[in-house]
């Protein structure tokens, strides 16, 4: 897998850091494929990651694998996330500040408030999330773990019941790839929220154990904006949008219920 980035200040250093950290992860037994090259040429910084065998955990955009596959694969993913514990290399990581900024102001090419404001229903949802996050923020967050940040099913490869690769690691800016590994668990929770009540309950509990209620709720709020905005912009009117709308409402209902309880 070849990825290109426009060369600039510290872009090459950020990608070299990515390769160094994923090497450490792989030495721990994490299923991240090896990076074979990193460098700069013709105004581009490149990374070249080896191909891993298997198929993505996402059979089609917005669709989930069958439940029997998830029951086998999810424990392996949780074990892999545990290997990310305390592997951060920064004394003063910018997490969670930059995550909160994606919620409150939008991100670079994702979590776009302009998309959310184009319709009354998504605009109202964004306002609900902004109010909720304003109430919840303030507690200290974990910030010493390695962080994938996009552990969606399209970035997980599996074959014959075994996770064969977690791909598409990235360091888009200085200080990325370090934070709370609980965010990666919350990502699994979000994408499989509607698949099975038992798995949802198990993932909720793992999130609470790692990150607490406030940060788990904030992570889910970010994921709601990120996925619903992306799907609405790229696949408007699709079954994918309908599904993520339902997940958004279910997650917010559970968050408010847990916060009240």
| Tens of pLDDT, residues 121-158 | 999 999 999 999 999 999 999 999 999 999 999 999 99
pLDDT at 260: 82
pLDDT at 61: 86
pLDDT at 249: 97
Mean pLDDT of the 26-54 span: 94
Report which of residues 203 and 63 the model is more confident about: 203
pLDDT at 105: 97
In this predicted structure, the answer to whether residue 246 has a pLDDT above a threshold of 90 is yes
Mean of the per-residue pLDDT values of the chain: 95
DSSP assigned state of 155:
G
Percent of the chain's residues with pLDDT above 90: 91
Cut 0.85: pTM above it: yes
Extract the tokens encoding 58.
Answer: 């996402």
In this predicted structure, the answer to whether residue 166 has a pLDDT above a threshold of 80 is yes
In this predicted structure, the answer to whether residue 62 has a pLDDT above a threshold of 90 is no
- Nearest of 195, 201, 170 to residue 57 by alpha carbon: 195
In this predicted structure, the answer to whether residue 248 has a pLDDT above a threshold of 80 is yes
Instruction: Identify the band that residue 257 occupies on the pLDDT scale cut at 50, 70 and 90.
Output: very high
Annotation: CATH topology of 52-260: Aminoglycoside 3'-phosphotransferase; Chain: A, domain 2 (3.90.1200)
pLDDT at 128: 97
Instruction: Identify the band that residue 100 occupies on the pLDDT scale cut at 50, 70 and 90.
Output: very high
Instruction: Identify the band that residue 193 occupies on the pLDDT scale cut at 50, 70 and 90.
Output: very high
- Going by C-beta distance under 8 Å and a sequence separation of 6 or more, which residues neighbour residue 182? 142, 206, 207, 210, 211, 215, 216, 219
In this predicted structure, the answer to whether residue 14 has a pLDDT above a threshold of 80 is yes
Domain locations in the chain as residue ranges? 52-260
In this predicted structure, the answer to whether residue 12 has a pLDDT above a threshold of 90 is yes
| Residues 99, 147 contacting (CB under 8 angstroms) | no
Instruction: With residue 2 as reference, give the H or E element that holds it.
Output: strand 2-6
pLDDT at 145: 98
pLDDT at 261: 74
Cα separations in angstroms, 184 against 56, 113, 257: 17, 23, 23
User: SS3 of 251, please?
Assistant: helix
Extract the tokens encoding 139.
Answer: 């507690």
């Amino acid at each position: 897998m070849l990825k290109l980035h426009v060369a600039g200040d510290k872009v090459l250093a950020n990608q070299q850091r990515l390769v160094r950290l994923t090497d450490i992860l792989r030495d721990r037994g994490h299923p991240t494929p090896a990076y074979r090259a990193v460098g700069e040429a013709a105004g581009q910084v490149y990374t070249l990651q080896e191909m891993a065998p298997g198929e993505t955990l996402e059979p089609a955009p917005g669709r989930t694998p069958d439940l029997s596959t998830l029951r086998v694969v999810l424990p392996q993913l949780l074990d892999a996330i545990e290997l990310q514990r305390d592997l951060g290399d920064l004394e003063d990581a910018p997490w969670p500040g930059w995550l909160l900024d994606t919620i409150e102001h939008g991100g670079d090419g994702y979590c776009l408030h302009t998309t959310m404001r184009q319709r009354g229903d998504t605009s109202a949802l964004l306002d609900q999330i902004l109010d909720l996050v304003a109430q919840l923020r303030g507690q200290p967050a974990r910030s010493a773990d390695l962080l994938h940040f996009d552990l969606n099913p399209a970035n997980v490869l599996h074959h014959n019941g075994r996770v064969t690769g977690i791909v598409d690691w990235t360091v888009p800016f200085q200080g990325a790839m370090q934070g709370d590994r609980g965010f990666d668990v919350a990502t699994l929770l979000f994408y499989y929220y509607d698949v099975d009540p038992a798995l949802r309950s198990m993932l909720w509990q793992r999130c609470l154990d790692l990150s607490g209620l406030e940060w788990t709720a904030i992570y889910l709020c970010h994921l709601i904006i990120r996925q619903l905005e992306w799907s609405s912009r790229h696949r408007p009117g699709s079954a994918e949008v309908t599904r993520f709308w339902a997940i958004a409402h279910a997650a917010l209902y559970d968050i408010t219920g847990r916060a009240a309880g």
